[in-house]
Structure 1
Amino acid sequence: MDLIPFQYLGLAALVVTVYLALRVRWKHAGRNDNAPIDNKGGDDSSPASKSIWHANKEQGEEDVLRDPKPLLDFDLKTAKTRDYIYVNKTLRYPYYQTMAHQPMEIENWIEITSDYEWYLSEKKKVIESEPVYQGKKVLDSLPENDFACQELMETVIDWLPKRYPTLFDRLLRAQDEGSYDGIFNRVTGERFEWLEGHAPDGCKALTIISRLTECDFLMAREREDGHVYFTGGLVAFPGFYLLSEKIDKPMAVVHAPVPQFNEKLLMSVERTLKRMLPSAPFERSSWEIVDDLNLYWHNIALLPAGGKVSVDPGDLYLRIDRQTFRKLPKSRGIIFGVHPLVRKLESLRRSPLLPALLHKIHTESSRDLMVYKGAEAYEAALGPWLEEAMREQVESGLIGGTENVGDFREYAGQERDE
């Protein structure tokens, strides 16, 4: 075999290096930096394509999370979140208990939709119906968490005008008595200001947050015993539980009713949250089938044992709770952001493979998981409805009928109207 001259090897290495550099540029060419980051894969340079372990390993305690890129042409009337049916592995097959989380692009921390004003209105009704400083069922903070509430509020008011400059103004002004900080919400016309160095904390800070975002925020921290405890938050749209049931309790107690969680996931979840760095946030999503739009407390949660929902299966809703996780750098508070999103099942009837996917999840997943999700209240009616939708998709040629339902993400955006 002839040997390749050494200088040719050097030239080949140079060519490969130039090609790889250009390939990275080609990958990013034409990307809309103002759009929400999809995170469905393909870009190996994206933080969201890395594992949580690698994302944290590449960061240092001194690293600072970069600012979000501004949405300069944001249109509130048509605004949508990413489609969480296809993002974050919300729905998957086979379906089993897993953390199912991934690093989060900072642009995607807080998403605003065309329903923004409705969310804020509903949230205000819930908070005002449960006295903030007495009932504390949906808004509360332990003394150890008050500074974290302040830091969260300051983080939110710093981030929102940077990401959505057409919706929010940062209020920074100086007067004789000192400098003022705050935020103006152009959508609601509300203004929040305070003397610099005297920012609201605790429940007052959380109340201000409730007038700025569609998201709820559950808060936690690691205590001296090495476990993560829930220490407060704003949870106006829990659907099935109350903040007052979670506060001051460790994760093991809070998640005890969740099948397989403490046995399979608790140790990994706590370790991830404790090791998480402020510069490496992540996200995940969960789902439920519900029977109304009452995000505070769904009717299905009030049914007696053995009770059944009364609505037609097509009028049920797929509720997806998009969850974000951040650690605050000063207080070390652990922040769980929750954005509940709902889609009527009828609107998903023509989404390729989705009826088949939901059918398999409900019939082939661990029974204790489905019971925990409340499936007993609707599955007798939903099963035949999904089977009919599956037949319609085959007869219309939308699918062939032999596909692997786990590949349903390949059909994203191919929904058809009747």
Structure 2
Amino acid sequence: MTHLPIHTPYDGSSKLFQIGLKPLDLRNWIEIDETFDFQLAEKRRIYAEHPDDVFVAEQGTEEAQAEVLALLSEHLPARFPERYRREGDRLIVIGHPELEGLDARKLPSLHKASLLVQEDLIVMRRGEEGWRLAAGSLCFPSSWLLTEKFGKPMSTIHEPVPGFGPGTRNAGLIDRMFDKLQVGQPVERFNWSIQAGDALYHPLSNAGRIDRATGRPIRFPDVEAAARAFIRVERQTLRKLPVSGDILFTIRIHLDPIALLKGRPDRAVLAASFAGQLMALDAEQLDYKGLTADRDRLVEALEGMAGLSRQERR
């Protein structure tokens, strides 16, 4: 991976454990970068290997799923003609012959839609208990399991997140924001975490990160190992569907080696801000992010990247 990070919410612009919704220009609803071909192929592989883990849908969501597919089929060739084109009623994904005839396959519409883009797609529906996860395709989970969250309201989904569980102020704010979301006024937010490798399919909890080769928990034994870690950035969007009234939640994963920050002209400021955010996390937040054992080594690596001397460090 040779590109510079596209999104750097760890610069302080999107603080962890805050809602941080911002207006989104619909032209920028979906993102495409140089990992497009790899990530679409990876989705097909994950669907083949974990079909029961990465797709769920309630009965009665078929029309909403079709609505998502229709919106994407309209948006993609107009926004990215170099990647998509229409041939009659068919949408062609250029360079992906495996997707030929996708429209005719007997798959749920949300499944089809998920194979067209790098984003994961979640449909939220309003019920008596609030907004619940009614359907979803999640090939690139960030330390959570789709099947465990299926059918549950937002407050229960967020129960493990410090300050966001049932009865908290943030849980109430999220429900109200979902209720007030208007068609044509989508929003976006960012989240980020640290992981040892570059796996997109990451369903394990952060606290239980396991090295598949050794079967042991992954830890960064020294500063050099911490400097080889990956930053997992989630770009999330919320868009109210005009027909069903459901909300489409998209999650786009960017995986960037921490070492890539060295190539940025603003690396000193960025690395110092990143380190400061890690130092600001409390014990409960560190535990949730799986960083209790590794935070200090990560901070030391970032401060070294920022060019801080030992005297300038904490």
Q: TM-score, normalised by structure 1?
A: 0.65
Q: 2:12 touches 2:274 (CA, 8 Å); kept in 1?
A: no
Q: What stretches of structure 2 of length at least 5 have no aligned partner?
A: 211-215
Out of 292, 312, 316, the position equivalent to 2:225 is 312
2:143 corresponds to 1:274: no
Query: Which residue is 1:101 aligned to?
Result: 21
Residues 355, 379 of structure 1: alpha-carbon distance in 2 compared, 3 angstrom cutoff: same
Q: 1:290 touches 1:319 (CA, 8 Å); kept in 2?
A: yes
**Aligned-residue offset at 1:359:** 1.9
Larger radius of gyration: 1
**Aligned-residue offset at 1:99:** 1.1
Q: 1:308 touches 1:376 (CA, 8 Å); kept in 2?
A: no
Residues 321, 152 of structure 1: alpha-carbon distance in 2 compared, 3 angstrom cutoff: same
Query: Which residue is 1:188 aligned to?
Result: 96
Task: Please give the alpha-carbon distance, in whole angstroms, between the structure 1 residues aligned to 2:231 and 2:4.
Answer: 15
Trace 1:17-166 onto structure 2 (pairs within 5 A).
Answer: 83-85=6-8, 89=9, 91-92=11-12, 95=15, 97-131=17-51, 135=52, 137-166=53-82
Task: Please give the alpha-carbon distance, in whole angstroms, between the structure 1 residues aligned to 2:196 and 2:16.
Answer: 23
Residues 329, 117 of structure 1: alpha-carbon distance in 2 compared, 3 angstrom cutoff: same
2:212 corresponds to 1:303: no
1:124-152 Cα shifts (integer Å, max 9, x gaps): 11111123xxx2x1111111322111110
1:343-400 Cα shifts (integer Å, max 9, x gaps): 111111461312221222122233322221111242242232223223x2679xxxxx
1:72-95 Cα shifts (integer Å, max 9, x gaps): xxxxxx9x898310xxx5542894
Q: TM-score, normalised by structure 2?
A: 0.85
Trace 1:369-380 onto structure 2 (pairs within 5 A).
Answer: 369-380=285-296
- Structure 2: which amino acid aligns with 1:361? Q
Residues 359, 161 of structure 1: alpha-carbon distance in 2 compared, 3 angstrom cutoff: same
Query: Which residue is 2:132 aligned to?
Result: 229
Residues 208, 81 of structure 1: alpha-carbon distance in 2 compared, 3 angstrom cutoff: farther
2:304 corresponds to 1:381: no
**Aligned-residue offset at 1:294:** 0.8
Query: Which residue is 2:149 aligned to?
Result: 246
**Aligned-residue offset at 1:211:** 2.5
Q: What stretches of structure 1 of length at least 5 have no aligned partner?
A: 1-77, 173-180, 396-400, 403-418
Query: Which residue is 2:280 aligned to?
Result: 364
Task: Please give the alpha-carbon distance, in whole angstroms, between the structure 2 residues aligned to 1:337 and 1:125.
Answer: 20
- Structure 1: which amino acid aligns with 2:261? L
CA RMSD of aligned residues (A): 2.9
- Structure 2: which amino acid aligns with 1:219? V
- Structure 2: which amino acid aligns with 1:205? S
Structure 1 ranges of 4+ moved more than 4 A: 93-96, 298-301, 304-307
- Structure 1: which amino acid aligns with 2:25? E
- Structure 1: which amino acid aligns with 2:157? V
Residues 95, 188 of structure 1: alpha-carbon distance in 2 compared, 3 angstrom cutoff: closer
